[in-house]
Amino acid sequence: VQADGTDGNCVTFVLHDEDHTLGNSLRYMVMKNPDVEFCGYCITHPSESKINFRIQTRGSLPAVEPFRKGLNDLMGVCQHVLNTFEVRLLPEELGGL
């Protein structure tokens, strides 16, 4: 959903089957971008599993760019955590089998 009178720099993305887990971590990653003026999300209703995720950028940067970068950065962080877990914890557990 794009705000009226904008060139794509103020957009609300509707993410289905998601909750605070993705919303808060993605908001954190997107806000690290200095070109983002506002980023926030809300759960539409406790009985619905979707969030409205809004991004407003400075200048002419389309909001979809920091959204895409935030998702990619978050995937990178999750992959790093998984790799660290596998390297440090799994060999100890497998040694006891």
Task: Give the domain extent around 82.
Answer: 10-89
**Is residue 71 included in any domain, yes or no?**
yes
Counting DSSP H helices and E strands in the chain, the numbers are 3, 3
Spatial separation of the C-alpha atoms in residues 23 and 10, rounded to whole Å? 17
**Is residue 82 included in any domain, yes or no?**
yes
Per-residue pLDDT reduced to its tens digit, 53-93: 999 999 889 999 999 999 999 999 999 999 998 888 766 66
Average pLDDT value for the chain? 89
**Is residue 96 included in any domain, yes or no?**
no
**Is residue 95 included in any domain, yes or no?**
no
- How far is the CA of 90 from the CAs of 19, 72, 81, 86, in angstroms? 29, 26, 13, 5
**Is residue 4 included in any domain, yes or no?**
no
**Is residue 94 included in any domain, yes or no?**
no
Give the pair of three-digit tokens for residue 43.
Answer: 């759960």
Percent of the chain with pLDDT over 70: 86
**Is residue 64 included in any domain, yes or no?**
yes
Q: Answer whether residue 3 shows pLDDT above 60.
A: no
* Structural domains in the chain (count): 1
**Is residue 33 included in any domain, yes or no?**
yes
Asked if 52 and 27 touch (Cβ cutoff 8 Å), the reply is no
Q: What is the CATH number of the domain that holds 70?
A: 3.30.1360.10
